[in-house]
Amino acid sequence: MWLHGDEPTAKDVLVQHMETHPGQALFIESAERNVRLNGGWLNPNRMFSRVGAEKNLRKLNPSWGRKQLEVALDHLDQERDTLFRVLLPPAGGLLVALHNNWEDFNVHSEIPLSNRVALSDPDHPRDFYICTNSSDFAQLSCSPYNVVLQEGNSLVDDGSLSPLAGRRNMRYVNIEAKLGAFDKQKAMLGWLEKALP
């Protein structure tokens, strides 16, 4: 299992998990939600494609001109393959991302983008799995947590890992939990680990 996380609670879960389990973990550590890039800002969860990165850079840096935007996008393009070699699991492996979310993001935000949905815990819409493999979805839909399937390459490319995984036919699960919900995120990771080979 390969893990990726980007928020303080996720880091705590990652550290504890990696002390007792095999695999590789990558953690993005920053005092800001977004990271600096060429004098502007970038959401690190929206840089996994040129199309998605461009949308994100335009949104976060509305004063940028075309040249500044192109320089930043070219830089990301040059570094992306190196990042993928470090981040992406070997063929057949499972990439797991841990994210903490804010009030305006929940499972209902993902339903229009999803192929299938299982709302096992509708009272906690901010705690859910996003997966890209139908077999993984079948297993996770038996869990006590909400789960959506985003399979195939027809997903809207927002630069996040889900569309990338779909394009590459890669097994990917994102564990979303309310910011500060350390125990919930840890339980969700534990359930995933038992359910998915």
- pLDDT value of residue 195: 93
Of 62-76, 111-125, 145-159, which gets the smallest average pLDDT? 145-159
Q: What pLDDT does 3 receive? A: 43
**Domain positions in the chain:** 2-29+93-195, 32-87
Question: What pLDDT, on a 0 to 100 scale, did the predictor assign at position 1?
Answer: 40
pLDDT at 101: 82
- Cβ-defined contacts of 37-44 (< 8 Å, 24+): 37/72, 37/75, 37/76, 38/68, 38/71, 38/72, 38/75, 39/68, 40/64, 40/68, 40/72, 42/72, 42/76, 43/159, 44/6
Q: What is the pLDDT of residue 2?
A: 43
Asked whether the predicted pLDDT for residue 8 surpasses 70, the reply is no
d(CA 6, CA 29): 6
- The region of weakest confidence among 5-14, 97-106, 110-119, 133-142 is 5-14
Query: Which of the two residues, 25 and 88, has the higher pLDDT score?
Result: 88
101 sits in which H/E element: strand 94-101
In this prediction, residue 4 carries a pLDDT of: 46
End-to-end CA distance of the chain: 9
